[in-house]
Structure 1
């Protein structure tokens, strides 16, 4: 087989290229997370083989996830699917000033895949678990049945439709939307589909690392192609029935020719999101570095020697993590002389030590040579194996599930998929699958940089069920731990102390010392010590975000990674300790876009970062989007506050809401935050917080956080920093908390202090109705007596 070589590099996008479409024999369309699609046209210029002919923005400014074309009534349209859940259609003959002619609205989530046929039918797939067939800009069929996101769709001829989903299944539907066949074979999310050249079958690609060939009349795969070392995101059939090409998270394109791996094309980036094949047989790819690349077998279309050299240098300079190549014993590696041997197969990776560095090389069958593909970091290991059930493993961990019971064995090889190992461990021991994320994190924590062969968990490592050292958002505890105030460590608000104090015991709320009964005074003295939730383990948060970034739904662009790195570096600096450090050196819009884009069950570490930024960053506090949304509105979106609360407990919603509530309380620390929070919308916010859900719905930590917001706002009232127009809304908010609290003394105490502050504020009290004040005082007194804590009773005597 003649090898593919670089033909052209198309630079135009500023973020990941997630989708490609062959528009004609000499034009392609690329869609990117920079919210634009670009039409590229081939030229006859040997130095510039492709040029950008037109840029199309997403009408809503959202990430573009899919692109395609469709002809309706003789006119050709460009289709763009995006994170907005809409599909916009643009006339192919339009120019830069054109606007979409049609907008298709029916999906409820990101439209991640599009396809069409010669009859003018368009099919779309979405994270909302459905596929829709469109005719003449209207829904014709809703294809349902998948239990997870529909990642790929294909029109099969004129009257059948193929769908692939994160539920691991591929389904075939007829022209009436009736299910004809279900195809099973993949063990993880199916990401891509491509019809074979003869139309008798199709290829699929999945997160299990496999490409599969199927026949339409058989429910099981005809052949499995294994060669990728990570998720496979895309697959496209080669012309003339030769085979297929695929791309994935290992940064490569794999060329499968006549059933075998014929070539591995390494990119200078980690994620190659999409691959397709032009009518002339050239390959196009889109990657996380924002580039579209064209690869060819034709000598006349190959790139110049300088372009090839630049690409080779970029590939060679890649930093490969140990998890991409397996654990390595540095002393056992050959030197450069190891490159003298012939590779065993295309794509084989060989590590050598050269001038104190570990370098990775990859064998090319087509060129019969080794190409450097990166430099390996964290290359350590003892090389000693452990035997469990007659099989050798790099690690065999002892995992304590319950006190008094023998530990369970968790075997793992560094080249294994951590999710596969975790799943097998849980199933074998009849443990809940819901623990899988904890087990994966445990594996990753305890195999990164450790020596091979230890059968015991290294000192300081974390059990995945008790969760000692795994990342948790500030204040979220594992196991059966009780709530603890993040500053005092004992769960009690102590206005007489610094918020970072560590005093223990029963403290007097005024002196901070041991509790002693005090005589009631005639008037209440406002308490002006706010509470901020500002502790964070930055490294742990960074590690958790990086871990979740491996999930395709959470992948970060280079710009987003750079923004997060700026945030991490600033949060670790000493300036964060100042009252208003005004962290400015990052783009709040980029950060908040990630917070609201990530799936609800994955975004908690980002909301946690938002929490600390609300107490430290004037830039974040004063941010406002083009549509007028500020950080307050975006926080409520991030925790899905407006959605109906599940009847069953939801740990995700609990955690996200608690973190968002703490972030709101933290806004009262900076001057910009105070301005943002106490603006015209504060009354609306307080009414919304009090009215959308019953406070009894929230867990204890969340209720404490909402009470802390009331406390901090009341202190602003005492300091004449709260506009009087918001006084009544704040009083009603406090009443709502107290009328729904019957268990937690901390919620009651902070709410009662807030009530006392509000009533004692000269600039505010005149705005309050006497009847409302009396209702609040009577309610607070009754709750204080019911809870039975002396500190709350004393405050009520003062009020």
Structure 2
């Protein structure tokens, strides 16, 4: 039977990060789950379009899986079920997104959820090496726990004969009775088993990181093995629109259509990882991928996208394919595993693994002590020397050494020219590869010896340590600074009034890429209280004046673990209506209050939040009070303390970046607030396809910044995007073509200002990525 061509039907935009799971519900609706910590319900509209009608919130970490649980005795309207990296399972009302259940028990990320045959039965699996069977009609009863796997259980479902099947990173599939008794262990896959789906009454399919699909009987006999993918296969689903048909997707960026065991179609997506897929009853294929999009493909010409969208899609695919053929260090990017490979624990201490990160190949080493993969550095290839020189990253060097840092790990490339100071080169090498600072002397002496530099001017031990001025580096005295809170200066009431932030010590955390949100925590609540009372007396009875008790309760909202009631939050909202000339202490207590999860949810809810964010943006327009501008930005920074605020700021990111670019002269505190906001945006959007505008905004502001702390935060923001963006080449070009920023980076990277060394280090790291 000829299979018609599948073509793009529609693209569903709304998630801000990877879409890790897709599922279907009744009436051709689509469910999606994302790393942005939300799930969404998409309702069909017209012939081929879908509209996001509900967003499900509540998880504190990535939402990794989603399914529809049909109506049951306890929940006659059914439930949307999500599992998360916060180790919990939530059940939502389909129509309004209200959380109905919160299942706790898994000890690690929940990576799959699926309904059982009996109404109200839910099957989940987790990285804690178990699967669980829950009866939601009797939630007080403990779930049945399926124990026996030696690694993460990636998938679990019930077969047609009532047997439970689990797929694991230990390369096996296990079959179980419903009471938790193990029936058999199926072997054959040579790598992690990632997905399962029921094929017929008597069989099921599995897919694996070994790039194969296997067909099994319900009793555990392997009937066939199918090949077609060139990398990890993440998801598999039966297709009701094709006789004996199923579809699969994976790390090769492709969806493959199979019938009777033959791959008859291959659909390439403009994304590196296609994490999940499912099929609608009409045979349309739904995908979720690493570019944050949900796509629908159809074989019905009446549901094909218009010619413009199809052409744009094909152009995006061609660009992605060209990038995937790039080779770095002798490895073709498309043939290496992605970051998902780091979710599997190592087999022995010091085991190494090559992983594709965007357009780079990185080497990781497994640490038994830390139970994690640690990045060693980039994998590079050195060309043969030309006229006595060696090419490395497009530049010529006198030497490109291979440095063995750890037994069992591949050597790391260390470029060096005789005109360089070996201590400076050693320090740059350590920061580039995130190596312990105690290696400095060892690496420097390695360069001195192997480059035969003994004849150069030297101090008592060969060379001066450029960071201490001494002949030997003293470990621990020059650890790079991290991200301390901003200046303690009060920008609007003088030194004798309250402070809105204070300085703190540095950390040893690598500078870029940065991976956590920052916020403004420090404040003098008593001084804020006095200022609110003073301004309250000026408001008058006709414009939201408050009693002393109300003011005290509002100020208490600034305590991180405060107890409060909704009435007090509503009072704060009314106080935010004060005239702009006396608004700044209200904004200051607001930026403290939104750090609280519950208050964040009330301030940034769907009814008040969008208009509040718009109001904050109006305070950033030229001509507003400098204090209001600075504190409005601090509120937006602290909004990232919890999901509701984070999502609203991200939704308004284009308006935010436009407002920041339009800001005129800023005092030092406002500069720090602006670059802190850019830093949080960069952490959230670093790996997203649409972050070029954010990078442009950072570049513009860096050229305006005069405050050193603000400039450092802007550098970290830029370095974070540059290190992780899918648009790295575009952003590299924008930085290189900006002469003012380029000159400043080069100057700072070579100056090593003893009063602000972290700027020098961060500048050097950015230059190394260009």
Q: TM-score, normalised on structure 1?
A: 0.48
Q: TM-score, normalised by structure 2?
A: 0.49
